[in-house]
Structure 1
Amino acid sequence: MDRIGFLGIPDVTAEAQQIFDEDVAEVGYVMSVSRLWAYQPATVTGLFALLRQVNAGDRLSPRQRSVLVAAFASAFGDSYCSLMWGNRLAQAAGAETAAGVLKGVDDGLDDSEQAMAAWARKVARDPNGTTEADVQELRDAGFDDSQIFTITAFVALRLAFSTVNDALGLRPDAPLRSTVPAVVRDAVTFGRPIDDVEDEA
């Protein structure tokens, strides 16, 4: 492998190697996204620290975060995050529900989750097009203004991450072809295709 997305392979620093080692421990291989961000491992580490900081007060649950990422990533056209987080949502809520969210159909979610998914799609597609009525829908679903800020900042920071990955040609990791439920995989009809080549650990 001599390229990662549209770029060449960056030098592997000690910081990058630490991220690689964490990938292998967590998923069994080095993710393409980690290889890309090896250009600035401190930046991606800082970004995810910022995401944790955003969530520190209101504590979005893992399921809620999965709903938000699956909804915004599919609306944004990011196949990588849609597959990764669609898989996580499938584990939390079932594969059919996760596939529905990726297609913009939220019947398997509760009312508060449906409001979150709808808001995440609006932020991804047209943040300047949101209205006070859209925010009121979140309030009506039980979220206070602090939580609404948390949800929005979380989605916006994930969008920044996705934008870099997508713009630089990153493709979803080859193992996702077999580890993601078929119904979830089939729902991702957008973005870049799954990579053909298994990465090396």
Structure 2
Amino acid sequence: MTFLSEPPGSPDVEALYAADVDQDGFVMNLSRLWAHDPATNDSFTSLLVRTAEIAGLTTVERGVLVCATAAARGDSYCALAWGGRLSRFADEETALAVLKGELEALPERLRVLAAWARAVVLDPSATGPDDVAALRGVGFDDRQVFALTTYVALRHAFSTVNGALGATPDPQLRDDAPPAVTETVTWGRGVED
């Protein structure tokens, strides 16, 4: 599940696990990892929520940013989790396009968001004014551009912590995602049943 042992039980750990069960029906492997410091998990989650709200991101747009970030980073965990979600929130074709980096057929706003997330993850020093202008061109003001870029950077950091400490994708994520998504996500750590 992860390279770390199960954290000691506490009310905060139990609350984190209960939230998973309420939302997903099981305790996620990444929650077992982040349960080593629930306060950090809560702060991190609050910052993600705040930046998404400031950016004015819809659920689909968040899914596009997370899938693009996960695919560029080589994070199978978030790619499976959010690839399945994006398939439900938008459609399977959108999820597959973002995961594969084949963005041409996406609506312009989603295409620009996915391209920006990939650029931020793969080579942030190579971005330029034209990239930011593209974000402005699909309706984001400068504060929103800052917020959505911070959102991508935070998702990248989240993936890095999970990957470095061995969080493997939960079998439920594989089982809940469309087969085409699971066939596409061939990078990162494999699912352990």
Task: Tell whether the structures are fold-level matches, with TM greater than 0.5.
Answer: yes
The aligned counterpart of 2:77 is 80
Deviates more, 1:56-65 or 1:118-127: 56-65
The aligned counterpart of 2:178 is 181
The aligned counterpart of 1:93 is 90
Distance of 1:55 and 1:141 partners within structure 2: 16
Contact 1:5 1:171 in 2 (8 A): yes
The TM-score with structure 2 as length reference comes to 0.95
Contact 1:55 1:150 in 2 (8 A): yes
Structure richer in helix, relative to its length: 2
Corresponding residue to 1:172 among 163, 169, 172? 169
The aligned counterpart of 1:17 is 14
Q: Can you give the 5+ residue segments of structure 1 that lack an aligned partner in the other structure?
A: 197-201
1:124 maps onto 2:121 in alignment = yes
Residues 94 and 188 (structure 1), Cα distance of their counterparts in 2 relative to 1, 3 Å cut: same
TM-fit CA distance, 1:107: 4.0
Distance of 1:112 and 1:63 partners within structure 2: 11
The TM-score with structure 1 as length reference comes to 0.91
Task: For residues 133-159 of structure 1, give each alpha carbon's deviation from its aligned partner in whole angstroms, at most 9, with x where no partner exists.
Answer: 221221222322122111101111111
Contact 2:80 2:174 in 1 (8 A): no
1:160 maps onto 2:167 in alignment = no
The aligned counterpart of 2:54 is 57
Identity of aligned residues (%): 46
Distance of 1:44 and 1:92 partners within structure 2: 25
- Give the counterpart letter for 2:134 in structure 1: E
Task: For residues 22-43 of structure 1, give each alpha carbon's deviation from its aligned partner in whole angstroms, at most 9, with x where no partner exists.
Answer: 1111111100011011111110
The aligned counterpart of 2:130 is 133
- Give the counterpart letter for 2:180 in structure 1: V
Distance of 1:91 and 1:107 partners within structure 2: 21
The number of aligned residues is: 193
The aligned counterpart of 1:199 is none
Contact 1:16 1:38 in 2 (8 A): yes
TM-fit CA distance, 1:132: 1.6
TM-fit CA distance, 1:76: 0.5
Q: List, as ranges, runs of 4+ consecutive aligned residues in structure 1 with deviation greater than 6 Å.
A: none
Task: For residues 170-194 of structure 1, give each alpha carbon's deviation from its aligned partner in whole angstroms, at most 9, with x where no partner exists.
Answer: 1100112211100111110111001
Contact 2:97 2:106 in 1 (8 A): no
